[in-house]
Structure 1
Amino acid sequence: MPLPDRSALDLLSGDAQTFHHKVWASRVHVHHTDPTELVGLLSLQDVDRLLTSSALRTPALRLAQDGSVIPPSRFTRHATMSGTAVTGLVDGRKVLDLFDGGATVVLQGLHRYHPPLTRLVRRLELELGHPCQANAYLTPPGAQGFARHSDSHDVFVFQTHGHKQWEVVEPDSSGFPDGPAREVLLEPGLSMYLPTGTPHAARSQEVTSLHVTLGINRVSLRELLRSLATRALADERYDVPLPSGWVDDPSLLAAALGEPLAALADSLAALDTTAVADARADAFLSDRSPVLDGGLVDRVALSALSDDTRVERRPTAACVLRPGPERLTVHLGDRSLRMPLRLTPVMEHVRDTPAFAVADLEPWLDASSRLVVVRRLVREGLLRIVP
């Protein structure tokens, strides 16, 4: 099922702006929406196919029961491919038997191989500016996969089959998670956001439960400041050893610290915060792993590209334009392109138009040039050819 044509935060929280300004990293938030929009992202049938008709390998899948992780040897097998041993293959029959016995099935890293969640996670990453991931939990009736715990990252959770009773400990007025336990019945059409460190536990009821957890690996100011300080400390002036004899006379070290500390403070104070933020954004927009579903079909179809060919923006790609003094930089999410500045209006059209015919670029490019540009953008993964 394609992701609805709206922001991931609107889908998961109800209103992206409210989430950014009033919810993010501060409080639990519950949102009700159309069940079909969430169920279509990972159905019970999807999980059935992954478990029984694909070649999943650990650690893409793990199992847990009564708060403990089940050893992979109990649900994996070995095989050979062209004479080469393949280990860690998930044995669908063993997984189903353990599930029947009360084990929770955990599908890990679904954003890497399940396209609907890949699209959702990519959109969520771009809206938040933090790396995200997707796991799913299939729990048999009346079972609890994990005891009460807290995660080291923020999460969105939403139900796609059955329902599950959650116990969530909300922060008190001081921000510490010591408030009263809140009972939330998670069912299709309901999503819930939990900030880092929120204690929670979940138990399925009288039916099988399937829910998706979107983990948000948020980057802190401490991490950014540490990287800036590390860069400043690369200056060779800081290679000077501590003074000899400082253990017996700590005042020697105290005196030696004054000038380097002042120099470090000056180096950090001199940083252009706008340039730091721009560089951080550029790095984020160019180092995500590539998502090129349909890329082979597109490459084959390029030989027949013409003015009548329709193309569309690949939903997993970013298209952020950074005009410079001499070149236009186009960030695609997994890489960056350097293009002539004269192509800026062309790329603005590509950015702002979800789908168009090659001939629509005629205001800016002649027939030969527009074919060249579109071919490149297809090869780079920004555009795909509409069948």
Structure 2
Amino acid sequence: MQQRFSGAGPEPSLAWLLDPLTVESFLAEVWGATHYHVSRHRPEYFDRLLDGSASVDELAGLFRPDLSLTCMVRKDDTKDRHIYRLAGGSFDAVALGKDFGDGYTVVLESIQRYVRTLASLAHSIEVEFNFATQVNAYFTPPGSQGFTPHADDHDVLILQIRGSKIWHLYDGADRAPHDMYRKEPIAIASLPSPTDVHMEVGDVLYLPRGRVHAAEATSEVSVHLAVGLHAPTLLTLITRALDSLSHSDDRVHTQLPPRYLNDPDVRPRLGALARDAIEALEEPGVIAEGLSSLSDDLVKRGQCAPVGQAISDAIGIDGRTRVMKYQPLYSRVTDTPDGVALNFAQLEIKAAPDHEDALQFLSKSTEPFRVCDLPGLSAEQQTELARSLIMAGFLVRLPDAPGSAP
């Protein structure tokens, strides 16, 4: 899908979303503690994400037709998405439009899969935070409310794209993670008076996990994006570590004894069995293996540069050629039976052991460099490695710097 940009400016990133608040200040003072409203009075600010000249109908057209993405919500009423499937399997836009006119909010999930600028923004945040990120779009008719007061089990950044919306935030009524995990209902009648935040086009609102909130459109159609920040929990890490341990330690495969559910003489032994397995988490390398598994998740979520120019860019490179790692891109270097490998997106580039320093340099790089800067390799190895990584979309060839020697 082609996206037009509104001109020069920084690439979409977490720093760009939060500006003028710095990322470091956000992490130190806001993250997980309180909501934060970035009020800009700049309606053109998000034109780099979605074409600023597009109407609401055109924006909806960017994301539509995968029926599985569409959900219709009006307070406590959620429409089954399958009712919008026609007999021939096509999408019933007329029925959806009628329900929209009746006050239902259109919810489109994971739209970063359809718009490259949103995918780039989402992955840049993933690289920054090491968290999986998902972008949903919400189209709300004038004067309507989507969900009743609720809380999300993840942090979220709200981007107001069209119209305006009033967000009701219930400070002091945050939901505990275990309550959200059990899907305990919210006692709406007992909520305190909300703090109201008026979101205009170009504004950003951060909500921490568990903050109870609701929102309603004002006098025109509202379109906002919700960037969900899905931080792994300690439960996730422990689960991954135990799973990793299961490949080498039979303690986690200990069978539960017969009649463990109803024999009172058996039950006391279960705690000892569990403690024995949990103690294995303290052994060297077990938590590191769990972290490695989470790192693999981020690697697989990455996207490389578009391939269009890769073939021509790989021709005629030498040690003086300027290149840069495609941004944003999460990568890691791992050991293999025969050497090392650079892992990124869905790819793995294997190399001999003498390439480890070069691959580590590449994985950590954020600035342009020349092919001859790759450490520990001969000139021929440098050129061959750079060529293969340009072809794979990991490296992007840059024009020579002005005034550089030929």
Is the structural similarity TM-score above 0.5? yes
Distance 1:175 1:66 in 2: 22
**Alignment RMSD:** 4.0
TM-superposed CA distance for 1:282, in Å, is: 3.3
2:46 aligned partner: 38
- SS of residue matched to 1:59: helix
Alignment-mate amino acid for residue 314 of structure 1: Y
- SS of residue matched to 1:192: strand
1:167 aligned partner: 168
Distance 1:200 1:154 in 2: 12
Distance 2:47 2:331 in 1: 28
TM-superposed CA distance for 1:156, in Å, is: 0.9
1:83 aligned partner: none
Please show how residues 275-314 of structure 1 align to structure 2 within 5 Å: 275-276=288-289, 278-280=291-293, 282-288=295-301, 290-292=302-304, 294-295=306-307, 297-301=308-312, 304-307=315-318, 311-314=323-326
Relative to structure 1, is the Cα distance of residues 345 and 39 closer, same or farther in structure 2, using a 3 angstrom cutoff?
same
1:67-105 per-residue CA deviation (whole Å, 9 max, x = no partner) reads: 4233445544466xxxxxxx35463x5544543443322
2:181 aligned partner: none
Q: Which of the numbers 21, 24, 28 marks the counterpart of 2:31?
A: 24
TM-superposed CA distance for 1:28, in Å, is: 1.7
TM-score normalised by the chain length of structure 1: 0.78
1:82 aligned partner: none
Alignment-mate amino acid for residue 226 of structure 1: T
Distance 1:350 1:244 in 2: 52
Distance 2:14 2:291 in 1: 23
- SS of residue matched to 1:25: coil
- SS of residue matched to 2:312: helix
2:148 aligned partner: 147
TM-superposed CA distance for 1:319, in Å, is: 4.2
Relative to structure 1, is the Cα distance of residues 363 and 122 closer, same or farther in structure 2, using a 3 angstrom cutoff?
closer
Distance 1:293 1:350 in 2: 15
TM-superposed CA distance for 1:210, in Å, is: 1.1
Relative to structure 1, is the Cα distance of residues 339 and 274 closer, same or farther in structure 2, using a 3 angstrom cutoff?
farther
Distance 1:78 1:329 in 2: 49
Please show how residues 172-211 of structure 1 align to structure 2 within 5 Å: 180-211=193-224
- SS of residue matched to 1:362: helix
Consecutive unaligned residues in structure 2, runs of 5 or more: 178-185, 400-406
Higher strand share: 1
Alignment-mate amino acid for residue 242 of structure 1: P
Distance 1:62 1:173 in 2: 26
Match status 1:239 vs 2:222: no
8 Å Cα contact 2:240-2:293 kept in structure 1: no
TM-superposed CA distance for 1:36, in Å, is: 3.4
Q: Which of the numbers 211, 234, 240 marks the counterpart of 1:227?
A: 240
Match status 1:375 vs 2:381: no
Match status 1:8 vs 2:9: no
Relative to structure 1, is the Cα distance of residues 216 and 78 closer, same or farther in structure 2, using a 3 angstrom cutoff?
farther
TM-superposed CA distance for 1:120, in Å, is: 0.9
Please show how residues 130-141 of structure 1 align to structure 2 within 5 Å: 130-141=131-142
2:182 aligned partner: none
TM-superposed CA distance for 1:355, in Å, is: 4.8
TM-score normalised by the chain length of structure 2: 0.74
Distance 1:98 1:247 in 2: 52
Alignment-mate amino acid for residue 194 of structure 2: A
